[in-house]
Structure 1
Amino acid sequence: MKRSLDEFDEFCARAARAAAIITSGLAADNSADIYTSYRCSVRFIFSILAAIVADARGAVAFSPVTGSHWDLVHRELRDLWHKTRVSLFSPNEYSSIHADDARRAVNTLLGNYDNRSLDAVYFESMPNSWIGGLYERLLGLKPRRADTPDGVELRKDAGVRRRSGSFFTPAYLVDYIVTESVGRLKACEQLRVLDPSMGTGDFLLRTLAYLSSVGADAVDVAANGLFGCDVDPIAVDIARFLIWLETGGKVDAGELERHLICADALGGRGFLWYDAFSDAFSLFAVRRGFDAVIGNPPYIAAKNARKGDYAALESQKSKGQSDYYLLFLENVLDHGLVSPGGVLAMVLPDPFLVRANAAEVRRRLLKEWTIETIVHIAGAFPGTQVANVVPICINHSLQSTPISAVRLDRASLRRRFQIDPMNTVAKLGCKVSTNFALVQPKAEVLYLVQGEWKEVFERIHGADMSIGSIRPPFAFLKDIGVEAVFRGEEIGKRAISSSEGDRPILLGGESIHRYTIRYEGRRVRLDSVEKPLHWYSAPKIVLQKSSAKINAALDDVGYIVPQSVYCVKLKPNGIHPLYLLALLNSRFLSDYTFRAFTGYKMVQPQIELEDLRGMPIRTLTFTLDAKDRETLAAEGKKLFEHESEQAAEGFPLLSALVDEWLASNYDDAVHDVLVFLAGEAVKLRSPENADKSRVLRVDDAIDAVVYRLYGVTPKSH
């Protein structure tokens, strides 16, 4: 029976109301911790739900509870616990629940709600995914005392899940990972699959269903082939119950408790993989370790770890930024959790592709493993500020095998992947050489460098195309005669909210647009400025940090800027700031920036300071005297005006003239024409300018000149 999203929403509302009733009773004493009370109420709701679902599906016998005396319900749960030893049925947690509250909560969950009561058929046909989905919903609610009939109000709080790092995985991604990992290993004897952060067991449940569908014995798989751990005891109990239920209640719950455990897998309380799962590391095992390690680890950064949570993360705070998901990957590699020839497949945040803190893990996977495919997907977790990558990694090294990378950055592509993932990967995948990734300074997987862009990267960076190297006539921005390339002040909004102060200050990155600055009238006291004041003096170039492409402007005032703005302060007597401004705002360098840096973070992309310092800048040699420079520049300006009037697409004559100048070593003339054009771009963006068509022509002319400076044919880009 197909169930609708509206039905699921209604059921979640029932459960939330029931949880509020229990929480209110437990937290009636003002000294009680309302969050602890809420957790207890959630576990109670799932105990009742588990018993009803198990009864409806014939796994156990559980008498109807609506309207029953609480003592009877409590006794029924205790009997279930003794019969099955399924931990979710254990009634020990509920001795403090008031009988009236329990009865009201059960009636709310199962009885009349919006004039509808739920019967056995409802629970018999309830998808297992609803149970995990309900826990996700309840996990995203925050309890607080309120003047309501229940005395407690539950409000949505994304921060609760964000702090735990827990976001439950869409079914289509679970299916894809299980098929790509377990599917290729299904013929293995005594297959063992581990989810080291299993939550409510979605990946393990799907593994059980998949192996059962290809002829494996479900009870044997559940008892001997599924392993998992999680720090959340309620999630662990739910996972055990769902797997027990999937076998019709036939698997020994004691075996599930041995293999599905509540623990901090990253070293909490002396956790050791070999002790926790001795079956997988026995000397008598067919293969030591696990055939597949799969899942979706939490995405918590060390800086957000709270005392008492995630012991391994707390220890990382003093060592620079790390993330929980990276520590999971390091554990998998360091402890040899995947058997030779086995598969590692996880849902990871997309900064994994290029972020510096993931460099060592990437390098190890690239050198010691085979990364077969990477699916880069946006929108898989609605409401979150992260896109994801799903790498499929095989525990053997075949560096000659290219990585197939698939980019799903639109809803239509994501939908196509949901419907037919294998064909989507096969048809949309682009090949990335493992060696190309390994030569990058941080082992970045730059899969957007394809086709003609490989020629561009080879021209700029040399034969191996490492963005850590550069060849003449190009140089890194940090090496072209700059005094400083720096991030603005770490300063709070309060310090820049005043119109009084010693120096003008911009509000942030939103103040920067291509060629223009929007000053909001704020000022700041000099004692709030940490960096050398002369760095902020005019002229300097300012750039927006949080953007997928470059947005740069010339600061001829001398603004102080906050940390969401980057600054480039050139030394005098070198290239003109407007020349550099033209390069930075060109279509070419924006495209380069996307393919080399920002395109690998689909949500809230940003340019890192090291990216800016490593931007490839076309250097020039100045050889002409002032008169010759003036004559040649005048010729270039005249040609620009002529082609502007003719609306010549791509400025072919100006492009040809630039080629001629470069061949004749007249770099000075190219420099001066770009300075003129960038100056026009700045002037034309003033509020009083109404000639929008000329703005476009100037931008096109800048692009045409910059393309020729970098040896690129505009038609191909």
Structure 2
Amino acid sequence: MASLDKWRVVLAQNIALRNKNLEEDELNFVVQHTIDRIIFLRIAEDRRVEDYGELQKSVTSGDEYYQNLLRNFYIADRKYNSGLFDFDKDKISTHISIDNKVIKSIIEELYYPVCPYEFAVLPVEILGTAYEQFLGKTITINTAHRAKIEEKPEVRKAGGVYYTPQYIVDYIVKNTIGKLVEGKTPKEITKLKIADPACGSGSFLIGAYNYLLEWHLDFYTKKETLAKKDKALTPTGALSTSIKKQILLNNIYGVDIDVNAVEVTKLSLLLKCMEGETQASVEMQMELFHDRVLPTLDNNIKSGNSLVDLDYYEDQFDFKDEKKIKPFSWQKAFPEVFKQGGFNCVIGNPPYAQVTDKSLVIYFNEKYFHQDYQQDLYLLFLEKYKHLLLTGGMLGVIIPNTWLQSIKFRNIRKYLTTEFNWKRILHINEHIFKAVVDTHVLLFEMKGQAINNKVVIDIFEKNRIKEHQTILQNSFPNNGDTINILSKENEKKLFEKIKNLSNSIREVSNVYNGVKPFEKGKGNPPQTEQTMKEKPFVVEDQEKPKGKNWLPLLRGSLINRYVNFWNNNSWIQYGEWLAAPRDPKIFEAKEKIIIRQTSDSIIATLIEANIICRNNLHILISTSDNHKFLLGILNSRLSDFYYFQINPERGEVLAEVKKQHVEQLPFPKNASKKQQAEIAQLVEQLLHLNAEKQKTKLTSKMQQLQNHIDYCEDKINKIVYEIYGLAEEEIAIVEAN
């Protein structure tokens, strides 16, 4: 539906040109509503609820096509009562002008042969996907009152809009709402309250509504007597209009800070409600029951900031940001829900973004008590959910996996382990939001942790979900320590054994981050936009430049295990003008270990003095000058196994070895001098063999060198196993990992 963007552009530009009195918010509103109304009526035509070609007629006669269109909208209001066509609330649309050619071009694109879609069979979910991209942009007006479509700043920063895949929606709905309706009757389900606090285009609420529709249809199909009593089924065996409306109004709630997102959610839900209706069923509804076909959703789907209550106004004397912040009271918005204690189920995909607004940072610091480090919206939502759920309510959300693995998020982790019963976690081994984050799906119950509560860990890989293991929740640390949900019981025991026989790397060496050359506003003098663009202090793929302070520069992609690929072709002009230079003494050290940051395992080698390392490398300097022995330990399979226990990112696209991970790695307490000397000697050979391998061009010689490398690495692994006294079954665990 790329047409959505095109229609918005032509409508926005023409309406802004013809209606100079409109402000930005008003322009966004009228463009959104005009498109929504046209799409609704066009889909109604293909579903045979409206006469085919009604919209076309509005652009074939008369002088003002937009006025013809408005007449269609008024008729629709009398028939549908959906709020979408409510001109008592919409005081803008009836007082604007739009050129005929603009209206005609949009309408013509909705019909054959220009339009490729059969709207009767177009799933609402597909429409939602198209609208998700639409919602990532906004209309702005310049001083000449000309309209321009721009990506929202938060979307631009995130690299785009990312729609939640349908299988994630289905998994969450099935394992939350599916559990809540088990053994219930339709009467009992009328009390079930389901919310998405950041509903976007409505994908989760559509999933929830569709699940309840199918559940009710299945129930009434099997219970004919009750179906007749409740007037639940039509003569063709479909759910009646009244039942579909009841479900929507009784069960489905949503909030979004974006008013346009709220309108899209309403549109999607109303189209879902109207599925299966015909012109005859609509007319019968109006004649027999004097009731219009669709409900108004104004009391169910609302716009506001789910995280900021009305107490934001306290101590606020400047309200210029009120429109942007949009304080919102859940209790005042949904009093019938909180009269029963809260929602039975909260689902969704909260936004992932750091909070930068100063007033919000202050507010969240005062009102949220389980946050650490930088405030992130998804972590704030994790804290908020408890206050939206009643006791025993279900939570189902998809969020970044950092909540479990980042050392910085101790408080929120402790909060979640103690305040919720964890039911299921889906670990997603594939990168479903391109260029953004790796994710988990959480399915929690709002109760304090039960003593023997079992957590099912599922894994999504190769396009299917499979059960990985079941763990007792009380086996996880509840003090805020990081949690590895993939680690099995025998792996945990071995991890603890290794840990008890080791010092941490931070106890035997100093670990440093590499140099960050460029960042706007950093360095002396502060770097500018031009500095960022020209990058004058770094040269790649050329010989050493003339001038002072030029030193070899090493980056993560230029190293591998026991090898350094630098070839006199990468240089940095070192000094205080860099964004984040390090103490020169770090690089002057005679010998040091470097570890690649962008990796899902430990990749380390040894370098000599006066080589500068970029910030995608970590630098490790031993306090006892035993770098070769230490390098052998770091590159061993045992170290790799240990690393996976503290940071289980194996196979993930954005996997990162962070400085704090390196500092936690094991260094054996009880290695004999002989064992240390043997490993150091083997490392010496590996450094030489890998260097030789880089020089050779003969395949046969390369293979011979690789065989020798494999032999040396195997020998190091065996010595490491001896140092830690591993039994055969323990070695098997390490090797399998």
TM-score range, shorter chain: 0.7 to 0.9
Going from structure 1 to structure 2, the CA distance change for 1:206 and 1:541 (only over 3 Å counts) comes to same
Q: Which whole-Å CA distance do the structure 2 matches of 1:542 and 1:350 have between them?
A: 27
Q: Which whole-Å CA distance do the structure 1 matches of 2:597 and 2:68 have between them?
A: 63
| TM-score, length of structure 1 as denominator length | 0.77
Alignment of 1:82-231 (within 5 A): 84-89=80-85, 92-94=91-93, 95-96=95-96, 98-112=98-112, 114=114, 122-139=118-135, 160=155, 163=158, 167-186=162-181, 187=184, 188-189=188-189, 190-215=191-216, 217-231=243-257
Q: Deviations over 1:102-151 (max 9, x none)?
A: 3233234313555x576xxx323221112212202434579999xxxxx9
Q: Which whole-Å CA distance do the structure 1 matches of 2:650 and 2:336 have between them?
A: 39
Going from structure 1 to structure 2, the CA distance change for 1:382 and 1:474 (only over 3 Å counts) comes to closer
Q: Deviations over 1:300-353 (max 9, x none)?
A: 2225x699999859999x9732221111111112x2x21111111111122222
Q: Which whole-Å CA distance do the structure 1 matches of 2:681 and 2:123 have between them?
A: 67
SS in 1 for 2:570: coil
Q: Which whole-Å CA distance do the structure 2 matches of 1:321 and 1:163 have between them?
A: 17
**Residue 614 of structure 2 aligns with which residue?**
562
Alignment of 1:514-525 (within 5 A): 514-519=561-566, 520-525=569-574
Larger CA deviation: 126-135 vs 35-44: 35-44
User: 1:533 offset after TM fit, Å?
Assistant: 1.7
Q: Which whole-Å CA distance do the structure 1 matches of 2:175 and 2:614 have between them?
A: 46
Q: Select 1:487's aligned residue among 504, 507, 513.
A: 513
SS in 2 for 1:347: strand
Q: Which whole-Å CA distance do the structure 2 matches of 1:184 and 1:435 have between them?
A: 23
Alignment of 1:311-350 (within 5 A): 320-333=373-386, 335=387, 337-350=388-401
Q: Which whole-Å CA distance do the structure 2 matches of 1:675 and 1:140 have between them?
A: 56
Q: Which whole-Å CA distance do the structure 1 matches of 2:472 and 2:412 have between them?
A: 18
**Residue 279 of structure 2 aligns with which residue?**
none
Alignment of 1:425-504 (within 5 A): 428-438=467-477, 442-461=480-499, 471=500, 473-480=501-508, 482=509, 484-492=510-518, 494=535, 496-498=537-539, 499-500=544-545, 501-504=548-551
Q: Select 1:53's aligned residue among 33, 43, 49.
A: 43
Q: Which whole-Å CA distance do the structure 2 matches of 1:278 and 1:570 have between them?
A: 62
Larger CA deviation: 383-392 vs 220-229: 383-392
User: 1:586 offset after TM fit, Å?
Assistant: 1.4
Paired letter, 1:688: K
Q: Which whole-Å CA distance do the structure 2 matches of 1:532 and 1:214 have between them?
A: 65
Q: Deviations over 1:239-286 (max 9, x none)?
A: 22332343338789775211210111110443222112111112xx3x
Unaligned runs of 5+ in 1: 1-11, 146-150, 418-423, 462-470, 621-661
* Contact 2:486–2:648, Cα closer than 8 Å, also in 1: no
**Residue 288 of structure 2 aligns with which residue?**
none
**Residue 527 of structure 2 aligns with which residue?**
none
SS in 1 for 2:41: helix
**Residue 634 of structure 1 aligns with which residue?**
none
SS in 2 for 1:486: strand
1:256 aligns with 2:246: no
User: 1:229 offset after TM fit, Å?
Assistant: 0.3
Paired letter, 2:484: L
**Residue 221 of structure 2 aligns with which residue?**
none
**Residue 650 of structure 1 aligns with which residue?**
none
Question: Aligned pair count?
Answer: 616
Paired letter, 1:596: I
Going from structure 1 to structure 2, the CA distance change for 1:613 and 1:379 (only over 3 Å counts) comes to closer
Paired letter, 1:275: K
Going from structure 1 to structure 2, the CA distance change for 1:290 and 1:140 (only over 3 Å counts) comes to closer
Going from structure 1 to structure 2, the CA distance change for 1:162 and 1:129 (only over 3 Å counts) comes to farther
1:709 aligns with 2:714: no
1:512 aligns with 2:559: yes
Q: Select 2:334's aligned residue among 260, 270, 277.
A: 277
Paired letter, 2:76: L
**Residue 239 of structure 1 aligns with which residue?**
265
Q: Which whole-Å CA distance do the structure 1 matches of 2:70 and 2:298 have between them?
A: 23
Q: Select 2:676's aligned residue among 671, 677, 681.
A: 671
Going from structure 1 to structure 2, the CA distance change for 1:152 and 1:339 (only over 3 Å counts) comes to closer
User: 1:38 offset after TM fit, Å?
Assistant: 7.2
* Contact 1:536–1:558, Cα closer than 8 Å, also in 2: yes
* Contact 1:350–1:602, Cα closer than 8 Å, also in 2: no
User: 1:83 offset after TM fit, Å?
Assistant: 5.4
SS in 2 for 1:568: strand
Q: Deviations over 1:76-99 (max 9, x none)?
A: 224434654534335655454522
Q: Which whole-Å CA distance do the structure 2 matches of 1:310 and 1:389 have between them?
A: 29
Alignment of 1:541-620 (within 5 A): 541-571=593-623, 574=624, 576-599=626-649, 602-620=652-670
Percent identity of the aligned residues?
21
| TM-score, length of structure 2 as denominator length | 0.75
Q: Which whole-Å CA distance do the structure 2 matches of 1:505 and 1:598 have between them?
A: 33
User: 1:386 offset after TM fit, Å?
Assistant: 2.1
Taking only aligned residues, the RMSD between alpha carbons, in angstroms, comes to 3.6
Higher relative contact order (CA closer than 8 Å, sequence separation 6+): 2
User: 1:295 offset after TM fit, Å?
Assistant: 0.9
Q: Deviations over 1:572-630 (max 9, x none)?
A: xx25101111111112212321232142782311012111111111134xxxxxxxxxx
* Contact 1:545–1:607, Cα closer than 8 Å, also in 2: yes
Going from structure 1 to structure 2, the CA distance change for 1:384 and 1:525 (only over 3 Å counts) comes to closer
**Residue 13 of structure 1 aligns with which residue?**
2
Paired letter, 1:672: A
**Residue 355 of structure 2 aligns with which residue?**
302
User: 1:228 offset after TM fit, Å?
Assistant: 0.9
Q: Which whole-Å CA distance do the structure 1 matches of 2:366 and 2:30 have between them?
A: 27
Paired letter, 1:399: I
Paired letter, 2:563: T
Going from structure 1 to structure 2, the CA distance change for 1:530 and 1:14 (only over 3 Å counts) comes to closer
Paired letter, 1:300: A
Q: Which whole-Å CA distance do the structure 1 matches of 2:689 and 2:7 have between them?
A: 63
* Contact 2:176–2:443, Cα closer than 8 Å, also in 1: yes
Paired letter, 1:302: V
**Residue 630 of structure 1 aligns with which residue?**
none
Q: Which whole-Å CA distance do the structure 2 matches of 1:222 and 1:450 have between them?
A: 43
Unaligned runs of 5+ in 2: 218-242, 275-281, 283-290, 309-324, 519-531, 697-701
Going from structure 1 to structure 2, the CA distance change for 1:504 and 1:431 (only over 3 Å counts) comes to farther
Q: Which whole-Å CA distance do the structure 2 matches of 1:310 and 1:169 have between them?
A: 31
* Contact 1:503–1:559, Cα closer than 8 Å, also in 2: no
Q: Which whole-Å CA distance do the structure 2 matches of 1:52 and 1:313 have between them?
A: 48
SS in 2 for 1:88: coil
Paired letter, 2:639: L
Q: Deviations over 1:676-710 (max 9, x none)?
A: 01111111111335423212222222222222223
User: 1:33 offset after TM fit, Å?
Assistant: 9.5
Paired letter, 2:724: Y
SS in 2 for 1:257: coil
Q: Which whole-Å CA distance do the structure 2 matches of 1:602 and 1:668 have between them?
A: 38
